[in-house]
Amino acid sequence: MASHSKSSQKTLHVGCPNIGDRQRFFDLVSGVFDRRWLSNDGRLVKELETQIARRLGVRNCIAVSSGTAGLDIAARALNMRGEVILPSFTFIGTAHALAWQHIKPVFCDIDPATHNLDPAKVEALITGRTNGIIGVHLWGRACAPDALAAVARRHGLPLLFDAAHAIDCTHGGRYIGSFGDAEVFSFHATKVFNTAEGGAITTNNDALAERLRQMRNFGFEGYDHVVELGTNGKMSELSAALGLANLESLDRFIAVNRRNYQQYRQELDGIPGVELVPYDDAERNNYQYVMVLIDAKATGGLDRDGVMSSLHACDILARRYFWPGCHRMEPYASLYPEAGVGLRLTERIAARIMALPNGETVDEQDIKRICSLIRSLVENRITS
Ligand code: T4K
DSSP summary character for residue 109: -
The answer as to whether 64 is a domain residue is yes
Q: Is 262 helix (H, G, I), strand (E, B) or coil?
A: helix
Q: Is residue 5 situated within a structural domain?
A: no
Residue 70 domain flag: yes
Q: Is residue 378 pLDDT above 80, yes or no?
A: yes
pLDDT tens figures, 9-51: 889 999 999 999 999 999 999 999 999 999 999 999 999 999 9
- The CA distance from 287 to 62, in Å, is 25
More confident residue, 3 or 164: 164
- Interval 192-201: pLDDT, tens: 999 999 999 9
- Based on the fold, state whether residues 238 and 258 are members of the same structural domain: no
Atom of ligand 1 nearest to the CA of 186: 15
User: 384: pLDDT confidence band, cut at 50, 70 and 90?
Assistant: confident
Q: Assess whether 239 and 92 both reside in one domain.
A: yes
Q: Tell me the chain's radius of gyration from C-alpha atoms.
A: 21
Q: Which atom of ligand 1 is nearest to the CA of 69?
A: 13
φ and ψ at 66, to 5 degrees? -165, 165
Q: Between β-strands 316-317 and 12-13, what pairing exists: parallel, antiparallel or unpaired?
A: parallel
Q: What is the CATH number of the domain that holds 144?
A: 3.40.640.10
Rounded distance between C-alpha atoms, residue 319 and residue 336, angstroms: 26
How many whole angstroms separate alpha carbon 200 and alpha carbon 164? 9
Per-residue pLDDT, averaged over 85-94, amounts to: 98
Q: Which of 247, 280, 312 is the last residue of a domain?
A: 247
Q: What is the mean pLDDT of residues 199-218?
A: 98
- Work out which ligand 1 atom sits closest to the CA atom of 138: 3
Q: What is the mean pLDDT of residues 166-175?
A: 98
Task: Tell which of 216, 231, 247 closes a domain.
Answer: 247
Same domain, yes or no: 47 and 188: yes
pLDDT at 9: 82
Regarding whether 63 and 210 lie in a shared domain, the answer is yes
* Overall average pLDDT of the 249-277 stretch: 98
CB of 304 closer than 8 Å to CB of 351: yes
Residue 135 belongs to a domain: yes
Is pLDDT at 124 greater than 50 in this prediction? yes
- Rounded CA separation 211/209 (Å): 5
What's this model's pTM, rounded to 2 decimal places? 0.97
* 87 and 153 part of one domain: yes
pLDDT computed for residue 2 by the predictor: 42
Kindly list the distances between the CA atom of residue 153 and the CA atoms of 91, 126, 260, in Å, as whole numbers in the listed order: 26, 12, 40
Average pLDDT, stretch 232-248? 98
The whole-number pLDDT of residue 259 equals: 98
What gap in Å lies between CA 76 and CA 35, rounded to an integer?
34
- Average pLDDT, rounded, for the chain: 96
Between the CA of 257 and the centroid of ligand 1 the distance, in Å, is: 17
The model's confidence at residue 3, banded by pLDDT at 50, 70 and 90, is very low
Residue where a domain terminates, one of 247, 274, 299: 247
> Is 359 in the same domain as 370?
yes
**4 in any annotated domain:** no
In terms of domains, do 59 and 128 share one? yes
317 lines ligand 1 (CB under 6 A): yes
Atom 22 of ligand 1, nearest CA residue: 91
* Whether residue 215 is found in the same domain as residue 330: no
Find the 15 Cα to ligand 1 centroid distance in Å.
7
Ligand 1 in reach of 136 Cβ (< 6 A) = yes
Task: Please give the number of the atom of ligand 1 that sits closest to the Cα of 71.
Answer: 9
Q: How far is the CA of 138 from the centre of ligand 1 (A)?
A: 14
Largest CA distance in the chain: 74
Residue 1 lies in a domain: no
Looking at the structure, tell me whether residues 30 and 114 fall in a common domain.
Answer: yes
**Looking at the structure, do residues 168 and 118 belong to the same domain, yes or no?**
yes
pLDDT class for 8, splitting at 50, 70, 90?
low
Which residue has the least CA distance to atom 11 on ligand 1?
Answer: 67
Out of 16, 96, 188, mutate this one to test ligand 1's pocket (max ligand atoms within 8 Å of CB): namely 188
Take atom 34 of ligand 1 and give the residue whose Cα is closest. 15
Q: Ligand 1 mean position to 154 CA, how many Å?
A: 35
Q: Is residue 307 part of a domain?
A: yes
CA of 322 to the centre of ligand 1 (A): 11
Task: For residue 19, count other CB atoms closer than 10 A to its CB.
Answer: 17
CATH of the domain at 369: 3.90.1150.10
Q: Are residues 148 and 124 in the same domain?
A: yes
Domain containing 111: what range?
22-247
Q: Measure the CA angle with vertex 144, ends 143 and 150; round to 5°.
A: 130
Q: Is the CB of 186 under 6 A from ligand 1?
A: yes
Confidence of residue 369 (pLDDT cuts 50, 70, 90): very high
Task: Say if residue 7's pLDDT is above 70.
Answer: no
195 within ligand 1 shell (Cβ under 6 A) = no
- Give yes or no: residues 229 and 336 share one domain: no
What is the phi/psi pair of residue 202, to 5°?
Answer: -125, 145
Total domain count, the chain = 2
Q: Is the CB of 377 under 6 A from ligand 1?
A: no
89 found inside a domain: yes
